[in-house]
Structure 1
């Protein structure tokens, strides 16, 4: 039987406690054996100016997840052609790890835009998708394809943008990022 592995992609600029709490919930709710935090080197939807160096974001994710069972930071997309399209990542992962069943984990905001994603029909045809709640996005469960499910996870109102802004304004980020990376986050995002 294939190991059910959730793919949680993102910039993780920086990773925060909301990401980790959500991944823990998704492990249970979606019946996953692992969740891979696939750190994206270049998200086609995001401006690169705001992005901290790839290796530093990956290092922080690895440190933050070190004590977490079945949650792993991955640099897989660092070795693929850029920009990082999810379809290409899933194709390559499926080839490299035939013993795993990959499940795409996305927020309701991404699901609302999913028909604009590169190769979205191929993703829908070949992979299960688990959608988690995001503020302002109401997913119509009745209209979902059979391989797409919505999980009812608690909504944690934390964002990487908010953390970066708090640092720039000299405000505390205590409790927003894991204690293991708090000083690293401050050092990396202070101007």
Structure 2
């Protein structure tokens, strides 16, 4: 059985922090592959500064094409909006059947709000969660502190954000070191976030 970690995000744009976390999960956990699930619309984010789905998917493809364990996924593009993780997991389980097992990858900041997710109990019952550290403040719900399906992975703390990159680029700052080279080339050629 192939164990796949699902790394959800708008990836607007994908940056080196995303790659470092995903690669660390692929190398230092029992996950076989990490799929970057490009989310068309997050229930928690506004749509106005999102690039079109195809552009964000293309940047994820360009960022991951040289890493066999990291794969882009547009599985949510054809699902009803807003995209809830539980619906995506049900769809993936139906599509891939018994040959795959799907786990979630999330930052510690997301775990703090996990109790607000739609059907979070069902997600925890059927899927493992791999959590990477963040510097954010806040309290993790007691029920998630030592849950057997929640695994904390001692990944590097990456405090680069897509929001910061977009803002800095718009201000004319050099953001090139924060992006995989092919993503920088694509973003620059398309004149995004200016």
TM-score normalized by structure 1? 0.94
How far apart are residue 190 of structure 1 and its match?
3.5
Q: Is 1:92 aligned with 2:94?
A: no
Counterpart secondary structure, 2:185: helix
How far apart are residue 188 of structure 1 and its match?
4.3
CA RMSD across the alignment: 1.6
CA contact (8 A) 1:141 1:150 kept: no
Pick the aligned partner of 1:176 from 151, 175, 178.
Answer: 178
How far apart are residue 141 of structure 1 and its match?
9.9
Deviates more, 1:101-110 or 1:133-142: 133-142
Aligned positions, number: 190
Alpha-carbon distance in 2 for matches of 1:164, 1:188: 11
1:1-191 aligned at under 5 Å gives the runs 2-98=1-97, 99-137=99-137, 143-186=145-188, 187-191=190-194
TM-score normalized by structure 2? 0.93
CA contact (8 A) 2:7 2:35 kept: yes
Alpha-carbon distance in 1 for matches of 2:100, 2:160: 31
Q: 1:167 to 1:87 in 2, by over 3 A?
A: same
How far apart are residue 69 of structure 1 and its match?
1.9
Q: 1:142 to 1:6 in 2, by over 3 A?
A: closer
Counterpart secondary structure, 1:4: strand
Query: What's the CA shift string for 1:10-48, capped at 9, x where partnerless?
Result: 000000011001101011222111000000001000010
Query: Any unmatched runs of 5+ in structure 1?
Result: none
Alpha-carbon distance in 1 for matches of 2:158, 2:2: 28
Counterpart secondary structure, 1:50: coil
How far apart are residue 142 of structure 1 and its match?
8.1
Counterpart secondary structure, 1:89: helix
